[in-house]
Amino acid sequence: MINKENGVACYQQLSKILIEQIEKGIFKPGSQLATEIELSKRYRLNRHTVRQAIERLEDEGLVYKIKGKGTFVADYKIPYKVSKKTQFTTSILDVGLNPDARLIDYYEISAGRELSKKLNISASDRVIVLEILRFVNKVPFCHTTSFLSSKNFPGLRNFIDGSFSLYGLLKKHYGVDATRASSTFEVSMPESSDMDMLNISPKVPMLAVKSISKDQKGGMVEYCITKFRGDMCSVSVDFNGEGR
Do 48 and 134 sit in the same domain of this protein? no
Beta strands in 137-205 (DSSP E): 139-149, 179-188
The CATH number given to whatever domain includes residue 21 is 1.10.10.10
Do 134 and 95 sit in the same domain of this protein? yes
Q: What is the pTM of this model?
A: 0.72
Q: In total, how many domains does the chain have?
A: 2
pLDDT of residue 240: 65
List the domain range (segments joined by +) for residue 52.
Answer: 10-73
Final residue before a domain boundary, out of 28, 51, 73: 73
pLDDT of residue 202: 84
Instruction: State which residues of the chain have pLDDT below 70.
Output: 75-76, 86, 239-244
Do 215 and 101 sit in the same domain of this protein? yes
Which amino acid, 18? L
| Domain annotation covers residue 4 | no
| Domain annotation covers residue 2 | no
pLDDT of residue 243: 45
Do 46 and 90 sit in the same domain of this protein? no
- Rounded Cα distance between 199 and 242, Å, is 32
Percentages of the chain per state (helix, strand, coil), in multiples of 5: 30, 35, 35
Do 208 and 139 sit in the same domain of this protein? yes
pLDDT of residue 241: 53
